[in-house]
Amino acid sequence: MKLSSVITNHTFGKQRIDQIIASDPQFSSFLNKYLENSPNYLNLLTGYFSPKVWRLVGDKISSIPENSGSNFSFRMVIGREVSKFDPDELQKRFEEELADAEFELVNYVRNLIRFLQRQDVGVKLLEQPFMHGKLYLFPNLAVVGSSNFTISGLAHNHELNLITEVSSTVNELQKWFEYYWSKGNNYKDYLIEVLNKSWLGLYPWTPFEVYTKIAFEYYKTDLEGELTHTHFDLASFQKEGVIRSLNIIEKQNGVLIADAVGLGKSFIGLETAYRLLENIRKVIPRLLIICPAQLQKVWESLLRQKNIPEDIFTMEMLSRELPKAQYDVILIDECHNFRRPTTNHYKNLLQFLGRNLKAKLIFLSATPINTDLMDLYYQLNLITREVDSSKELKEFGIQDLYLYFKELVREEADFQLIKEAFLVCRSRAEIRFRQTLGLDLMLPDGKTVIRFPDRQLNTLHYSIVDPELEFSSGEFYKKVDELLSKLKFPQFNWESYHLPEFQVDKQKISLGSNVTNMIQALFLKRLESSLYSFKVSIENQLQLLNIFLPLFREGYVFSTPLMNLLLDGNDELGLNEELDENILLSFLIQNKSKKDLIDKKLTKKKKGKVKHEEYRLDDMERDIKYDIDIVVQLLELVNDLLKQPDRKLLLLTESLNKILAENTLKSESDPATKVLIFSYFRNTVDYLIEKLKDKNSQYYLTDYNIDIITGGTSPNLRTEKILAFSPRSNAETEEKIGPIDKKLMNIDVLLCTDVLSEGQNLQDANHIINYDLHWNPVRMIQRAGRIDRLKSQHRVITVHNFFVEDGLEELLGLMARITERLEDIDQTIELDGVILRSKETIKQREDIKRIEQADLSLWDEYEAQIEFSDHNPTKKTLQEQIISLGSDILKKRPLGIHSGKITKGNSGLIVAMQIHYYGGGIETRWIFEPDEQEKYEGLLKGGLIMNRREVENMLRCEISEPRIIMESEELFPRVKRIRDKMLKFLEEEYLAKGSSARILKEVNDTLNMLSPV
């Protein structure tokens, strides 16, 4: 055979491999021609090795006869081309090269694996000494030059290689090779493993391994994203929340952070806002905070710490006016207050956002759903600026946002879709799950570990009556109910007194009936709270009855707006406490504006007077006198009982003394024991504070400081009291917040209404006492969230719940009957925290009894309910894998690996693909091509299902799932067809944006960069 003495790879520009093979002269062509002579061996030394080279020369090298003895037929030494020896880096380069390989390379790589598995084939990796030369050595011929054993070295590059057949030279080169062979480390097994575990290899990946790899590539930014610096000290899960928030905002222009109470939503939201502001190309980008008035001081404190310029606008202000400026980022705290589109502050906010279309929106709420799924829709409607259909929503399988929520209400849609599109919502259960796996929540200082405290429930049983009396608590409740049931409430049911000849407004009659039942429920709830609170209610009713008829004769009644407010909650009033007759006394004016509702004066209006001549006034007067008689009987019954000691209050005093005695057993370094007491009613709170501070009272709480916060406490005084009660949780210096009144220092016991049930950090306390029964058990969770928070210095927190000892069944039964009456009227009402919903009566009655039994599992169940906690099984599985194996295992698992499993009714092929976008950014799509296309009619796009949630349900499996092998001859051509369909779909998607050259280039770049996972 005649040989040229120099080979240069005359290749100008990159050519396809099949063209390279056919070209001549090429080093690859020379090797193939020479290997046709069947030499006994080939020894080579190369700076770098590319598995793809097997397509050029693999067939001929594999034809070298196999030696059965100890002699090698093929040896390869891989030298160093990196500045520092790192076998992991070499593996990474192999994996990256194989990940970009074409489907046609499958058989070549697998042939390479089979060749390397021969006993007469050896591969070594050279660590020391440094060697940069390249040598190809046959029995009687050697090639020395610049060509690495790669496609570029054998064909692409301009190389210079010298061939020699001089025996002495070949022998010397043989010795040179043996020297470096002896210095190398065995690398063949490692190389086989890398090749086998690539998507082109033969490694038997299990379905679970493929499932977790696919999931990891999708969720990895949420689970292990890193922030180089933060403006606040954030734990790892909080940083994950910031990263996910930024990712959602990038797609939807807004995010709703719905992390559970106590997980630091304010810090996550503010960190997200600062990062957005840093990327806005303005001299001074502007931030707006919208929050309830009672949280204004909290936000001022947070923002002051970082000297960030901002505007704060309260929701109450928003009901009356709009912010004037343009803003780049708008953060809305407690956004669930914008769940009703008919309110003034909702309409104003929507109008304001319409003027700030480019502003990035950050919504915060632990409970965005209060009573109905549509609550969430109307909040997201603000983020979308009333656009229900968009490309971004369709990517999540939501064609129309409004119709999707209607399907959710009918339980015909998957809630997970909206969570992934808009929400950052980690539950306390998810964070506790990390703790159970031994994962500490560490702050950036590397020293501070934050954990949730352990939780306890305790039941405090009391009797409302003296056990020595002739009747029990249950019998007392029945007597009260008998009298309440007789009340006709003409002051609310005045529309039912129309004369027959005049038109009757049936809707107003229904409204009055609803209010009547609500007031009866309120009476019972106040009775359970305290006899004093119940007495105040009865006295108020007596006053209402006495003034109603004279005002009615003048043409005044309870207004329809007021009646609706009674049923619809207190959001418009911003009271954050129960709406009761104390407030009704000031609302006895028809058609007063909502702005005037909180004015405690009776002002007259000349327009819209009721024409009393159209009503049966004699019947109304008779019923008023009848109700007055019943109310007087109720007062006599209550006053008789009030002559006895208040056994419930005595138990409270005894419990407080016992709890606060813990401080005498603590060292100075231990956090002090503090107690937070909740009641629904301001009357009860006022009554308790008066008795507990009365030195002449048997209820006097000695040696401890006690104070109250209600809706009537001014914002400044409220801030001072919160700081005095919980200074560590609200670590602002006196210089910044102003001097604290010395009388308020070191508050041990704080009594409050639900004005403190949201948005406050009170974790200096370790005890909560709920003085009232939990008609809605969710409220217990919300209240407990004030102290059951990360960064609590207490190891254990305790929630104490008062329960009547011998009248609970009677009380629950009375409330159930009121519920049935409400349902008979068939009116949609918001009953949160007032009475039980009829369809939930049985379950909630059982849950109340479980609270009485101190069943902690109920706490977990209700947390899951209010925290969107569906424990996404895929994400949970990933967390377990990351914690048990480390994320590096999942990172190193190559892209493109595959497996198979048996499924029920979902025969087909799932492919996950990464789309690399022009200008940066990667998106992962999950695709399913069913074998039986007719079964999925209406769900397919070009024969494919692209709803990620649907595909995830098919993909999910257990770690023990057995592998079912699909032959590559069937697999890879089908994967290629699916990829081509997906590329066509993407092209249509992008062309739908327009036909500019830039967009077309974006399409082409996208198609070229698509790679299989």
For the cut 60, the answer to whether the pLDDT of residue 733 exceeds it is: no
Instruction: Return the DSSP state at 284.
Output: S
Token pair for residue 921?
């950014």
Cβ count near 58 (within 10 Å):
18
- Model pLDDT, residue 651: 95
Token pair for residue 485?
């049931």
- Model pLDDT, residue 90: 58
| 3-state secondary structure at position 198 | coil
For the cut 70, the answer to whether the pLDDT of residue 1000 exceeds it is: no
Question: pLDDT class for 832, splitting at 50, 70, 90?
Answer: very low
| 3-state secondary structure at position 343 | coil
Q: What percent of the chain has pLDDT over 70?
A: 76
Pairwise pLDDT comparison (891 vs 564), residue with the higher score = 891
- Region 426-444: mean pLDDT is 65
- Model pLDDT, residue 842: 67
| 3-state secondary structure at position 368 | coil
Question: pLDDT class for 62, splitting at 50, 70, 90?
Answer: very high
> Across the strands, what pairs with 142?
137, 164
Cβ distance 496 to 457 under 8 Å?
no
Cα 112 from chain centroid (whole Å): 47
d(CA 861, CA 949): 24
d(CA 908, CA 276): 43
Cβ distance 908 to 917 under 8 Å?
no
Token pair for residue 1002?
């974006």
- Model pLDDT, residue 627: 93
- Model pLDDT, residue 309: 65
For the cut 50, the answer to whether the pLDDT of residue 580 exceeds it is: no
For the cut 60, the answer to whether the pLDDT of residue 968 exceeds it is: no
For the cut 60, the answer to whether the pLDDT of residue 560 exceeds it is: no
d(CA 984, CA 563): 59
d(CA 927, CA 946): 5
Element of type H or E holding 809:
helix 808-825
Kindly tell me the sign of the dihedral angle through the C-alpha atoms of 423, 427, 433, 439.
Answer: positive
Question: pLDDT class for 391, splitting at 50, 70, 90?
Answer: confident
The CB-side HSE value for 45 (13 A sphere, CA atoms) comes to 26
Give the N- to C-terminal CA distance of the chain in Å, as an integer.
47
d(CA 581, CA 600): 12
| 3-state secondary structure at position 804 | strand
For the cut 80, the answer to whether the pLDDT of residue 915 exceeds it is: no
Instruction: Return the DSSP state at 711.
Output: T
d(CA 664, CA 723): 23
For the cut 90, the answer to whether the pLDDT of residue 759 exceeds it is: no
d(CA 135, CA 411): 70
Mean pLDDT of the chain: 78
Angle CA 993–994–998, to nearest 5: 100
Question: pLDDT class for 25, splitting at 50, 70, 90?
Answer: low
Cα 134 from chain centroid (whole Å): 56
Cα 265 from chain centroid (whole Å): 10
For the cut 70, the answer to whether the pLDDT of residue 972 exceeds it is: yes
Shortest CA distance to 123 belongs to which of 197, 61, 38, 30?
Answer: 61
Token pair for residue 412?
């015909």
Shortest CA distance to 27 belongs to which of 44, 674, 712, 798?
Answer: 44
Record the pTM.
0.65
Angle CA 252–258–263, to nearest 5: 130
Question: pLDDT class for 458, splitting at 50, 70, 90?
Answer: very high
- Give per-residue pLDDT as tens, 192-242: 988 888 888 888 999 999 999 988 888 776 665 566 677 777 877 888 889
Lowest-confidence pick of 78-92, 702-716, 764-778: 78-92
> Helix 506-529 and helix 473-486: axis angle, to 10°?
160
Lowest-confidence pick of 90-104, 669-683, 692-706, 968-982: 90-104
The most confident of the ranges 41-50, 589-598, 768-777, 831-840 is 41-50
Helical segments of 589-746, H only: 617-642, 647-660, 682-692, 715-725, 734-737
What Å distances lie between residue 559 and 494, 573, 732, CA to CA? 11, 15, 45
d(CA 495, CA 513): 10
Residue for token pair 């960069």: 1009
- Give per-residue pLDDT as tens, 363-389: 999 888 877 789 999 999 999 998 888
d(CA 798, CA 859): 12
The CB-side HSE value for 520 (13 A sphere, CA atoms) comes to 28
Lowest-confidence pick of 180-189, 503-512, 814-823: 814-823
For the cut 50, the answer to whether the pLDDT of residue 157 exceeds it is: yes
Conformation bin of residue 50: beta by default, left when phi > 0, alpha when psi is -120 to 50: beta
The CB-side HSE value for 233 (13 A sphere, CA atoms) comes to 13
d(CA 521, CA 818): 7
For the cut 90, the answer to whether the pLDDT of residue 143 exceeds it is: yes
> Helix 715-725 and helix 296-306: axis angle, to 10°?
70
- Model pLDDT, residue 84: 45
- Region 642-671: mean pLDDT is 87
For the cut 80, the answer to whether the pLDDT of residue 778 exceeds it is: no
Cβ distance 453 to 796 under 8 Å?
yes
Question: pLDDT class for 919, splitting at 50, 70, 90?
Answer: low
- Give per-residue pLDDT as tens, 469-501: 667 777 888 888 889 889 898 887 877 888 877
- Model pLDDT, residue 95: 62
Three-state SS sequence of 157-181:
CCCCEEEECCHHHHHHHHHHHHHHH
- Model pLDDT, residue 208: 92
Domains of the chain plus CATH, in order, are 6-197 (3.30.870.10), 219-427 (3.40.50.10810), 454-461+645-804+836-866 (3.40.50.300), 476-635 (no CATH), 894-1012 (no CATH)
Cβ distance 124 to 187 under 8 Å?
yes
Token pair for residue 124?
């070594």
d(CA 170, CA 164): 7
- Model pLDDT, residue 977: 86
For the cut 50, the answer to whether the pLDDT of residue 811 exceeds it is: yes
Residue for token pair 């104070």: 707
For the cut 70, the answer to whether the pLDDT of residue 450 exceeds it is: no
- Model pLDDT, residue 189: 92
For the cut 70, the answer to whether the pLDDT of residue 940 exceeds it is: yes
- Region 528-548: mean pLDDT is 87
- Region 245-267: mean pLDDT is 90
d(CA 827, CA 823): 7
Instruction: Return the DSSP state at 193.
Output: H
d(CA 819, CA 799): 28
Lowest-confidence pick of 162-176, 528-542, 577-591, 697-711: 577-591
Shortest CA distance to 780 belongs to which of 765, 767, 770?
Answer: 770
Residue for token pair 């609970």: 808
Helical segments of 826-867, H only: 841-852, 856-866
> Helix 506-529 and helix 560-568: axis angle, to 10°?
50
Strand 134-137 to 42-46 pairing? antiparallel
- Give per-residue pLDDT as tens, 339-368: 989 888 899 999 999 999 999 999 999 888
d(CA 434, CA 223): 12
Shortest CA distance to 785 belongs to which of 769, 761, 810, 821?
Answer: 761
d(CA 876, CA 849): 32
d(CA 148, CA 579): 83
Shortest CA distance to 791 belongs to which of 876, 730, 844, 871?
Answer: 730
Pairwise pLDDT comparison (866 vs 295), residue with the higher score = 295
Residue 37 phi/psi, 5° resolution? Answer: -80, 5
- Region 991-1013: mean pLDDT is 41
| 3-state secondary structure at position 956 | coil
- Region 750-757: mean pLDDT is 84
DSSP for 527-584, written as a single string: HHH-HHHHHHHHHHHHHHHHHHHHHHHTT----HHHHHHHHH-STTTT--S---HHHH
Residue for token pair 């048997």: 698
For the cut 90, the answer to whether the pLDDT of residue 289 exceeds it is: yes
Question: pLDDT class for 997, splitting at 50, 70, 90?
Answer: very low
Residue 655 phi/psi, 5° resolution? Answer: -65, -40
